[in-house]
Chain A
Amino acid sequence: MSFDNLKMSPALEKYMTKEYRDLVERGPYGKPKKVSEMGTFKEILEEHPMCAGCAMTLFIRLTMIGLPNPEHTILVGTAGCGRLALTQTSIPFIYGNYGDTNAVASGLKRGLATRFAEQPKDVVVMAGDGGLADIGFSAVMHSWFRKEKFTTIMLDNEVYGNTGGQESGMTERGAILKMAPKGKQFEKMDMIGLAKTANVAYIARVTPTNPTRVASTIRKAVLIAREIGPTFIQAYTSCNIEYAIPTPKVMDDAKEVESARYGFMEIMSDEAREYLESIEPAKKPKAKKSESEESVTAN
């Protein structure tokens, strides 16, 4: 929650684990790292028990690089695959009960804003499609309607991967799963459309096929959530177990899905765009580029 939490007490330094020492000395804290530098610094994410070749893990790993100030960030999550990796980061993680992630985050953000008026603290909700679109749906929508200033990231694997493959609201129509043998009968929920209706300040849809873009999307969303209002990222993170994707083909699948129905899309309110340009003037041309991408993918 601040650099002080990371410092080692000199008397206890020799008892600290190798991993902790490496993180303090060669981690990204205080020296922001780029995606192209991966493999040359100690990452916030440690070893984790998620399945081999999981695209969700890749997305979480890239998220940790995108966070503008990891030392001032708190993660909120709930039951689901994502928490297996999120708990293995050096960022405080709050394990909400099913359905209340965005309610917990609302209170947390307001409390932190009161307690630390000078230092902006970022609250990031990361949960699965089940946790946000099905079970936590009302809390998500109401946090958007109340314009709570935090980021909601949906790890959309289009299935309840952790409990054996039940269909979720975000599963595609017709998808046959272990616990949905007849195929899903209804359409995939349009969370982007719902976010638009709720006037969310920054909405993005992304697949982990372009690591730099994932990190910059996260960065923009967290920065906008500090000042302007709620932000939402919907990320396609395929479940290679429930959708039986051979692990070497996970990225091929992500590319296929991206070109078929999950293209990169970014919707920013004018206020949010002005704010981003005011804090990062150098990135102006890039913001224009993403605007044109949006119009291409939206059509």
Chain B
Amino acid sequence: MYLVAHVDTSICAETACKLCTQFCPEANTILYDNEKKTAFIATDRCKACEICVSICDNMAKHSAIKMIMITDIENPFELSKSGFRPAEWNSMVRPKLISEKES
């Protein structure tokens, strides 16, 4: 198993910095939902370099991105399955941590 980045949408939606989308070295990996004003991760493309984590912690100072074990995410968003369809993002089931659901 391996780690992937995970955005806490409740923190991210309060800001509009979009810095992580600009500094990720992978194309179309950190996506931005203009309706919900939040970034989210295409789990299948994330290589776990943690650049977004350091950008969010040190440059943006929001600490909204954490590295999570991939098995701990429910409904991960996978670009290879869903394709790039911003119109559908509003109605899709959000990826969330399994621990969040239990509590």
Contacts and interface: CB of A to CB of B under 8 A. Distances in A.
Contact of A26 (B18, B23, B58, B86): B86
A35 B83 CA distance: 21
Interface residues of A, number: 34
Interface stretch (A47-55, A160-168, A268-276): A47-55
A55 B49 CA distance: 11
B31 interface: yes
Interface of A is mostly: helix
Interface stretch (A92-100, A244-252, A289-297): A244-252
Contacts of A44: 27
Contacts of B47: 51-53
Interface residues of B, number: 30
Interface in A47-67: 47-48, 50-55, 57-58, 61-62
Contact of A251 (B23, B26, B27): B23
Interface of B: 18, 21-28, 30-32, 34, 39, 45, 47-51, 53-55, 58-59, 80, 83-86
25 contacts: A18-B84, A19-B84, A22-B84, A26-B85, A36-B18, A38-B21, A38-B22, A39-B30, A40-B32, A40-B34, A40-B86, A43-B28, A48-B27, A50-B25, A54-B49, A55-B25, A58-B24, A61-B25, A61-B26, A61-B27, A211-B23, A248-B49, A248-B50, A248-B53, A251-B51
